[in-house]
Chain A
């Protein structure tokens, strides 16, 4: 019979995974909500964030703050890249069919993936946890690493910060308006193109940040872009494409399913993502908190 400390440890693992996914998926959700396009390249921005963080740490050396500077620097670099891609390439596809926009993001995956391979090669890279957060605490008989706790707290912090920004600031209101009715917004004189660029930059920042922050917990390898994009999709679909809190909820659910799923269906974790995605799309396609989009 599973004892309390085991259940507690398992649910915290689920929470950590969930918060990472939320960080990454929130950018995906934002782009879909406002630009109405599923950005396949979001996983690539995540990967570039990881590689960039590694590179910056390499330049700065191992000081107490170098990880945090690297994480921020990486996120900003990826945000810049996202902005440039959107402004000079993606914008030209806005009038065209959705399929073209989707395929363009896929082309980015191909191109940027190979660029990363050109720069950093195929050997795995690894970053250590930052000095301040390298220990662990013992709670209810389970060992909880400090870094995991940091991520668990960061997730809701970002969610709340976001929510506040969307509800209370002007930019936030514009974003929400654009998600509802972009034509009217344009007619009202708002520079919708600049808004779109801004949204893309913000989403890329989040993706890059997610990649940078995950480096203490995972190896940086080629192929990490395609791994994460599918998981991010599932999270967004469960929660509801375009719904912000939906993504948060979707991440929470997915994290726990992963954690406890291996206890009930030990050798079927290969199915879990897609079975879950299929189930949600069949039963309730607009997700838990999304708007029925026909």
Chain B
């Protein structure tokens, strides 16, 4: 068998990774082949150098910088509204929205307007269309287009839309 067919096993043998069943065959070849013994020696020397890389000093300042950056990031994430207060803020905003939606129904009896607003969806176009329809039916008292207020939270999944009907012009 030629030496090239032993190279792979010699590379494993030098690092102690060769399965036991193949060791005897490799050792027999090494005993008879000076070139492969030299290869095995080179590989062992290389292994020793690789092991020294593990013990070579690292720059403490670089490791410390990483720790500092991580802790800053973690603390910011842990205590920012995104991490801890976002659900509370969303709840508060939802309650505020609910109060605003219910308030006109109790105090002005303007049921149609409240009903239109209760369908508030996160798009503006349908609500504007309703408002225009309303305008055609009541040309005398023209309300302005609904005002859309958009709350953007730190959490991209939470966006709060707040629609406000403006008072009819000329009241």
Q: Do A and B bind each other?
A: no
